[in-house]
Each structure stands twice: as C-alpha cells, then as structure tokens.
Amino acid sequence: MRELNEKCAVVGVFGVDKAALIAHLGLYAMQHRGQEATGISAANGARIATIKDRGLVSRVYTDESLSKLPGCAAIGHNRYSTAGEDSILDAQPIFARYALGEIAIAHNGNFPNARAVRAKLIEDGAIFNTSLDTENLVHLIAKSHENKLQERILDTLSQCDGSYSLLFLSRTKLFAARDPRGFRPLSLAKLGDGYMIASETCAFDLAGAKFIRDIEPGEMVIFEEGKEPRSVNFAKEPIRKCIFEHIYFARPDSFLFGESVYAIRKELGRLLWEECKTNADMVIPVPDSSIPHAIGYAQASGLPFELGIIRNHYVGRTFIEPLQEIRDLKVKKKLSPVKELICGKRLVIVDDSIVRGTTSRQIVSLLREAGAKEIHMRIASPTITHCCFYGIDTPQQSELISHKMSVDQIREYLKADSLRFLSIDALRKAARCKGDFCLSCFDGEYYHDPANNSVSNAA
Ligand code: SF4
C-alpha cells in the first residue's frame, strides 16, 4: 500500500522523429513514479522548447502541445512532490541559457549535500528559482571553467554526491548519467534508428523500444547525431541499488537492475511463507502493489488466493492529508472489503510494507467490520526504522511506526491477531543481493553522515 513515494521518473529519446511524442508515451507508462507535475523538453538542433505543468500526463499533453515540441531529441520528467513543494517552478525539466548555449535537465534522485552546495553558490552570488537540488547543477555547469558541455557535466557531478539518474539535453546532444552507487534505475533501449533511456523498462514496452542494457553506476552515455553512443565511466563507488524499487516502487512488468520485478515480488511472498507459516482460510493482497507478493505466498502455502479487498481506481489524488481523520477516510474511499467472501474467515493479509501504520490499522478495522474471524498481517519487507536520503519520500523518523514500537506493539496498535515481517536476510536472498543493494531504511547504515543531509528538495 503506497505510504512511501517515489520522487520521479525520467525519460530520454534521441535520434527519433517526433521525439517528444515518444517521451510522452514513456512518461505515461511511468505515471506511478510521480503524479504531481510533468514536463518535456525537445531539441531540434537550433533551440530547446519546453512544456511543463501540474497534473497527470494524460491531462498536460495534447496533440497540439506536443506539436510545439519539434525535434529528434527530447527528455521528460514526472514529478512527485511533498506537501508545500508543489510549485510549478519545481516541475522539470529545468531549462537554462548559459555561456555554451541552452540546456535542459531532468533528475530522479536526491543530493544529501545539496544544501551545502547551494549555500556556497548563493554566497557566490547565484540566484535560485526553485527548491530543487537539481537547480544546483545548472549553476555548477554555468560556472564551470571547462570548454565543453561534457566536461562541464562531469565537473559538476564530481561536486554533487548522492543518488541520481540524470538526463541533460543540449540543442544537439543528450547525456544520460547514473550515480556511482547506482541508487536509482536507468535503462537504455533501441528505438528504430535511435535510442530511448528511461527509469523503467515499462516505458520502452509502450513506445515499442527494445531494451539493450542498464546504464551502469558511474557511467554517462553521450548521444550525438551521426555517431554511435559513447560511454564514459566517471566514478566508481560500492554499489547501492535501492531495494525498495523491487519491493514496490517499480511497476511489476518492469525489468529492473537485471531482474524481473514481478518474479522478485513473488519470491518475497514465497520466502514470507517460509518464514511465517500461518493456518488460515485464504490469502488476500492489499491492492494493487502487494498482489505479486500475495500470489507468491499463496502458491507456496497452497492456501486459496482471493481478492478480498477491492481498490477503487477512480478516487482522485487527495495528497498528504494533514488531519488523521481525513487520512482514515482516504483509505476507506480507496479500499473496500468483499464482505461475503471474508465474513467468518481466517485471513492472511499480505502487504509490501508498513510505514506509519495508519493505513494498515484502517485496513484491519475494515476487515473486522466486514466480519473477518482472524486477521494475520504478513509484510513482505523488514521493519522500516530509518528515513531515506536517497530519493524516496519518507516521513520523519519519529513518524515511522517501526522506529517507535516493537513488532508486538505494532500488532496491538493495528488490532491484528498476528503480525510478521520478512527478515532482512530473506529480502537479500529474494533480490539476489550480493552486498550491492541499499538497505538503509531497514538497517540505518548510510553511506554518508545523515547529520549533514538534505532531503526536502529531492527530485
Ligand atoms: S534508504 Fe530505502 S528507500 Fe532509500 S534508497 Fe535505500 S533502500 Fe531505497
């Protein structure tokens, strides 16, 4: 159940006629990664044109607006934003003119050192339009003493430590870079005579592009007309791919970090059964994100899989509600139990994670009201005890229920008959982790000093 939010999706298209139209399809496929605002910049060799606005992809772009984005190169962005940061100014791509011409930038990730970098830039006279970490990049590129854009970008990245999948568009070139730890995904595909780059491979499927490979951590791929893409390996660090992409951020039909998201989610469910066997009448997912996990649990256990909770897909986005009562109503509007199915039954409810616990509590309450005899919550990830500083919107640590309560206290708070979380070892096993995944929100082991972080302005 979505209580954490991905910050963004990025898409790039190069060497393809009507590139903006293709970018729009990619953003459409990746709407789940950000619903607050969307934007596309397109380059036709002479200039860069940009359209961006608040709202969903289906609302923002029309045939007419896309026709105003001519050219064979484009980058696009879907943005999720936290309350108070939904200014249109914070929509991406960010566009700027500087000494070498025009540039547009789209970013998925977060720079923990962004505040310090921005403070120094302001001290040196820079003026900022947005609250985005990404705007630091514009200033650093503009200030760099290098003669070529490629060198200016590399100079800039050397000063910005953090998580990023970044696309830079000039009038004639496109640069796609992934941070040296590889936190956020970024993949490359072939489309006709050109190329497509996207946060998730589901974007390629909709556009008809053929997946080639992931862009490697610490790699920048440069696209230039008439030339094969060139690759530069600019930095090397221990790999820390975000394991939450596999748990629930990515779409299940995406192929991410070299694995099928759907297959890994089913494996999480299977291992959850191995670790937490339960006598029950049926297995029910919390829709939609936990369906593959619940299928894995049900298949391993031999228990019937049932859609005992129905999700209303037509509820408008109500965003982060400040009042608890409104949050509770939000869950009720979205999820509804199938009373005839669950009345008098012992239920295993499979969810992908618990963040604040308010949603899970409401779900248990709905099922009780519908007559469930027993409710056993099974969570296909370990307890989330720490905040994310690498591009995922988590609440303050004090709001994380697993930070302030033991598992048994959480069970009491939820009013469930039993509650079990997947172990970190099982999570590692399911993701085929060879020490190359980030687990910071579960184990609190950050690669940087969290006392010096900035999380509020992530992209
Ligand atoms: S802290 Fe958690 S959510 Fe953030 S990058 Fe690491 S695994 Fe992903």
Per the structure block, which two tokens stand in for 204?
């390629």
Per-residue pLDDT tens digits for 323-332: 556 656 778 8
Q: Does residue 317 carry a pLDDT above 90?
A: no
Ligand 1, CB cutoff 6 Å, lining residues: 183, 242-244, 388, 390, 392, 438-441
Q: Which residue has the tokens 């997912």?
A: 285
Per-residue pLDDT at 80 exceeds 60: yes
Q: In the structure, what pLDDT confidence band is assigned to residue 456 with cuts at 50, 70 and 90?
A: very low
Domain containing 446 equals 259-452
Cα 109 to ligand 1 centroid, rounded to whole Å: 11
Which among 239, 269, 297 is the end of a domain?
239
**Cα 45 to ligand 1 centroid, rounded to whole Å:** 38
pLDDT value of position 90: 87
**How confident is the model at residue 166, as a pLDDT?**
97
Over pLDDT 70: what percentage of the chain?
93
Mean pLDDT of the chain: 92
In angstroms, what CA-CA distances link 420 with 274, 303, 349, 381, 407? 12, 18, 11, 10, 8
Residues 302, 230, single domain; the answer is no
Q: Answer yes or no: are the C-beta atoms of 456 and 387 closer than 8 Å.
A: no
pLDDT tens digit string along 95-142?
Answer: 999 999 999 999 999 888 888 899 999 999 999 988 888 899 999 999
Cα(367) to centroid of ligand 1, in Å? Answer: 31
Task: Let me know if residue 246 belongs to a domain.
Answer: no
Could you tell me the pLDDT band of residue 444, with boundaries at 50, 70 and 90?
very high
| Per-residue pLDDT reduced to its tens digit, 149-180 | 999 999 999 999 999 999 999 999 999 999 99
113 Cα–ligand 1 center, Å: 17
pLDDT of 200 > 60? The answer is yes
| Mutate which of 390, 424, 442 for ligand 1 pocket (most atoms within 8 A of beta carbon) | 390
- Please report the pLDDT score of residue 450 as a whole number: 76
Nearest CA residue ID for atom 5, ligand 1: 242
Q: Which ligand 1 atom is at minimum distance from the Cα of 439?
A: 7
pLDDT bracket for residue 85 (50, 70, 90): low
Calculate mean pLDDT across residues 289-315: 95
Per-residue confidence (pLDDT) for residue 332, from 0 to 100: 81
Q: Are residues 379 and 273 in the same domain?
A: yes
268 lies in the same domain as 214:
no
What is residue 192's predicted lDDT score, i.e. its pLDDT?
96
Q: What's the pLDDT band for 455 if we cut at 50, 70, 90?
A: very low
Q: Given the CA of residue 245, which atom of ligand 1 is nearest to it? A: 8
Query: Which ligand 1 atom sits nearest the alpha carbon of residue 386?
Result: 1
**235 with 263, same domain?**
no
Q: Which of 240, 243, 246 to mutate to test the pocket of ligand 1 (most atoms within 8 A of CB)?
A: 243
Taking the centre of ligand 1 as the mean of its atom positions, its distance from the CA of residue 438, in whole angstroms, is 6
Q: What is the pTM for the complete model shown?
A: 0.92
Q: CA-CA distance, 444 to 110, in Å (whole number)?
A: 17
Is 458 a member of any domain? Answer: no
Q: Is the pLDDT of residue 319 over 80?
A: no
Q: How many domains does the chain have?
A: 2
Q: Do residues 297 and 232 both lie within one domain?
A: no
| Ligand 1 atom nearest to CA at 163 | 5
Spatial CA neighbour of 79 closest among 106, 105, 50: 106
Q: Please state whether the peptide bond connecting residue 214 to the residue before it is cis, i.e. omega within 30 degrees of 0.
A: no
User: What is the arithmetic mean of pLDDT over 261-276?
Assistant: 97
Report the Cα 165 to chain-centroid distance in Å: 11
Q: Is the pLDDT of residue 304 over 60?
A: yes
CA within 13 Å, CB half, 330: 18
Average pLDDT (311-336) is 68
8 is catalytic: yes
Q: How many residues does the chain have?
A: 459
- The answer to the question of residue 32 being in a domain is yes
For residues 334 and 229, which has the higher predicted lDDT (pLDDT)?
A: 229
Closest C-alpha residue for ligand 1 atom 2: 441
Task: Report the amino acid identity of residue 34.
Answer: G
Domain CATH for 26: 3.60.20.10
Ligand 1 atom at minimum distance from 437 CA: 7
CATH value at residue 439: 3.40.50.2020
Do 183 and 276 belong to one domain?
no
Q: Determine which one of 8, 276, 433, 438 is catalytic.
A: 8
Task: Report the pLDDT averaged over residues 388-401.
Answer: 90
Instruction: Compute the average pLDDT of residues 6-14.
Output: 89
